Amino acid sequence: MAHEDPLRQFLRLPDVPRELSVDFSGRSLKLNGAEDAEPIAKAIKEHDGLTLLRLSGNTIGVEASAVIAEALESKPSLKFSLLSDMYTGRLRSEIPPSLNHLGGAMIRSGCRLVELDLSDNAFGPDGVRACLDLLASSAAYSLQILKFNNNGLGIGGGKLLAQGLIDCHRNASGAGETFALAAFVSGRNRLENEGAIALAEAFRIIGSLVYVSMPQNGICAKGISALSDALTYNEGLRHLNLNDNTFTESGAQAMAKNLSQLQNLEIINFGDCLMKSAGCRALANSLKESHAKLKELYLPFNEVNKEAALDLVRSLAGKPDLRQLHLNGNQLGEDGIREIRDAVEDLGLSTKDILDSMSDDEGEESDEEEEKENDDVNAKDPNLNTSSALPQVKKNVREFLQKPSAEYLMDLGSNRADLFKAELGDECLANPRNAVSAFCTVSSVIAKDTSTEVIEAVNKISDVLLEPCFCLKPELMAVEILVHLGLLKSEDKMKPVSNVYGPLVLLKHIIREDYCPKSVIDTLTAFMSKPNPSLVAVQSEIQDLLQALQNVNRR
């Protein structure tokens, strides 16, 4: 059997025999022209009854795609099209034509897909647009698994994908068929509220979802509420992963309320979602005397105190299949951890088997912090409709920009990245200069003795601000970075930043991220390689960055 997949196992789909598969995954092949693609095309043509095609981990150009597509046109038996991570080093302008070739071939073949995986391809909204014909065609009516994970979709791409799903449902219904998508995977895409709300409407219409995974998307309370409402139309939902979004108490309350209609849930992952103690209590109330099928519950890094965590543990009584409970990184304290373990044992469960280590516990919440929780949560959620929320966000971030320091940055709290996004996101998208200026200001707090915690905070803020900008205007972003560093003269005689140490350190992080395209890598490499007398003081950092650029190019 070939490539047993946990998600397919979760959905109880049969594995595909090797003799019905063509697998060129992980070979780091550079398929540029027609000749490069001939071995793959030949293998496809020779496989009667081809069911699974896997091309992940290669880099495929337009001409090579056309050759592969020609071979696929004669394969109506294709069910699993696994095309993740296959455009490394490609210009973004190459990707849509390639996707059009492959998608068009699947449409013309008459195949009925069960799984389409386009993850880890940084193609943004243009890539989704190139897939819309495929998603609207009969080839997609039978889809059970759809993976658009880590594609740099942004809000625009999320809206396009949602429309593609709605069109597929409408077209299938018009043809007397049922579009019964079971699994939707779209993490690390910066969908934010608008993208999440658009997809929520698609989920409401589809109504057949069993597995939803949307971690790391910058979704706040408004988007979480929309998703929770829409998911109630999918009563068969068994797996829900919204890790590393920003619920706050408002979103947690909405989610907890709607969970009562999702009694088939087996796995819930709300880790690192800033639910706080109030949100945890709401979840506990929802789970109490319900959700008997629950197997795994993840709630780490949510600023939950001991009392709320104990309420949650007690709500898990009467769940015979429970096998995992994750509460690491909260505010339990040593005594709280012991009480949690005792409470788990009181349920007749083994702490060794059920609980995670809780080794990153942040210590017991102080009385002062507990009193401030309800006041702080509104200020940390820019989407709540309160008169005090947005002014507080503006004050904090703007004051930091005027007098940046590592201490002030950390004082903004664990939700600092979302605060920056709420305050500066639109400005950065409107003008790459604004984005790079913010990048330079935030990174200015980095010095040679800066702690790892501060650097990680700077990295996360930069990702939130810069990822959409790199997806939309990569060339202009590269130019502005060079101007700000003094490596390129500005037409309007803008002065470069006085201290480039922090920006150079931060660039080493940015270039390793999937949202930074090869065109930017190549531009930075070319300019960093040239001697520049004004940057002699940071020559060591430039050499480190050059080495990092070379390593990225070798991937």
Best CA proximity match to 131, nearest among 145, 143, 144, 116: 116
Tokens encoding 535 = 């940057």
Is the separation of the CB atoms in 107 and 133 below 8 Å? yes
pLDDT in tens, 204-220: 999 999 999 999 999 99
> Domain of 256?
219-385
Whether the model pTM is above 0.75: no
pLDDT interval class at 414 (50, 70, 90):
confident
Across 18-32, 87-101, 363-377, 412-426, least confident range = 363-377
Q: Among residues of the chain, what percentage have pLDDT more than 70?
A: 93
Final residue in a domain of this structure, among 332, 365, 385 = 385
Q: Are 266 and 293 in contact (CB under 8 A)?
A: yes
pLDDT for the residue numbered 382? 44
Q: Is residue 368 over pLDDT 50? A: no
pLDDT band at residue 512 using 50, 70 and 90 as cut-offs: confident
Domain finish residue from 332, 361, 385: 385
* One domain, residues 176 and 238: no
What pLDDT, on a 0 to 100 scale, did the predictor assign at position 429? Answer: 81
In-domain check, residue 204: no
CA 321 to chain centre: 29
The CATH number of whichever domain residue 315 belongs to comes to 3.80.10.10
Whether 3 contacts 54, CB under 8 Å: yes
pLDDT digits (tens, 9 = 90+) for 273-316: 999 999 999 999 999 989 999 999 999 999 999 999 999 999 99
- Kindly state whether residue 138 falls inside one of the protein's structural domains: yes
> 308 and 421: one domain?
no
Q: Are 466 and 424 in contact (CB under 8 A)?
A: no
SS (HEC) of 43-102: HHHHCCCCCEEECCCCEECHHHHHHHHHHHCCCCCCCEEECCCCECCCCHHHHHHHHHHH
Task: Give the mean pLDDT of the chain.
Answer: 89
The residue ranking higher by pLDDT, 1 or 490, is: 490
Residues 384 and 378: their CA atoms lie apart, in Å, by 7
> Does some domain include residue 544?
yes
Distance CA 503, CA 522 (A): 18
Q: Helix or strand or coil: residue 469?
A: helix
Tens of pLDDT, residues 43-92:
999 999 999 999 999 999 999 999 999 999 999 999 999 999 999 888 88
Measured distance CA(443)–CA(177) in Å, rounded = 54
Across 106-123, average pLDDT: 96
Measured between alpha carbons, how far is 411 from 64 in angstroms, rounded to an integer? 52
Q: Which pLDDT belongs to residue 4?
A: 65
- Which CATH number goes with the domain that contains 442? 1.25.40.200
- Tell whether the torsion through CA atoms of 442, 446, 450 and 453 is positive or negative: positive
Q: Which residues pair with 267 in a beta bridge?
A: 239, 296
Rounded Cα distance, 280 and 116, in Å: 35
DSSP conformational letter for 212: E
Backbone torsions φ then ψ of 462, nearest 5 degrees = -65, -40
Least confident stretch, 7-16, 286-295, 467-476: 467-476
Assigned domain for 214 exists: no
Q: Looking at the structure, do residues 166 and 52 belong to the same domain, yes or no?
A: yes
Band of the pLDDT at 386, cuts 50, 70, 90? Answer: very low
What is the average pLDDT across 539-547? 85
**Domain contains 203:** no
Q: Are residues 398 and 497 in the same domain?
A: yes
* Cα separation, 135 vs 170, whole angstroms: 11
Statement to judge: residues 291 and 303 lie in one domain: yes
pLDDT band at 471 (very low <50, low <70, confident <90, very high): confident
Q: Which of 385, 409, 440 is the last residue of a domain?
A: 385
What's residue 366's pLDDT?
A: 58
- Nearest CA among 469, 257, 251 for reference residue 380: 251
DSSP structure class, residue 13? P
CA distances from 88 to 64, 118, 150 (A): 14, 13, 13
C-alpha span between 221 and 381 (Å, rounded)? 7
DSSP calls for 413-460 = -TTHHHHHHHHHHHHHHH-HHHHHHHHHHHHTT--TT--HHHHHHHHH
Cα 329 from Cα 333, distance rounded (Å): 10
pLDDT band at 554 (very low <50, low <70, confident <90, very high): low
Q: Say yes or no: 322 and 173 in one domain.
A: no
C-alpha to C-alpha distances, 46 to 19, 97, 110, 257, 404, nearest whole angstrom? 11, 26, 18, 54, 63
pLDDT tens digits, 316-345 = 999 999 999 999 999 999 999 999 999 999
Residues 410 and 546 placed together within one structural domain of the fold: yes
Closest CA to 303 of 240, 241, 374: 374
Query: Helix, strand, or coil here: 297?
Result: strand
Do 343 and 471 share a structural domain?
A: no
- Across the strands, what pairs with 211? 183, 239
CB atoms within 10 A of CB 100: 19
Higher-pLDDT residue of 98 and 349 is 98
Secondary structure (3-state) at 267: strand
Q: Does any domain span residue 546?
A: yes
**pLDDT for residue 78:** 98
pLDDT at 105: 98
Residue 208 lies in a domain: no
Maximum average pLDDT range among 362-366, 370-374, 463-467: 463-467
Within this chain, do residues 529 and 397 fall inside the same structural domain, yes or no? yes
Q: Give me the mean pLDDT over the 404-431 stretch.
A: 86
Q: Rg of the chain's alpha carbons, rounded to an integer?
A: 25
| Same-domain check for residues 339 and 427 | no
Whether 346 is covered by a domain: the verdict is yes
| Same domain as 511, residue 448 | yes
CA dihedral 260, 255, 304, 330 (to 10 degrees): 100
Our count of domains for the chain comes to 3
Same domain, 288 and 399: no
Q: Which of 154-168, 433-447, 513-527 has the lowest mean pLDDT?
A: 513-527
Look at the chain and count its residues.
555
User: How does pLDDT run across 146-159, given as a tens digit for each residue?
Assistant: 999 999 899 999 99
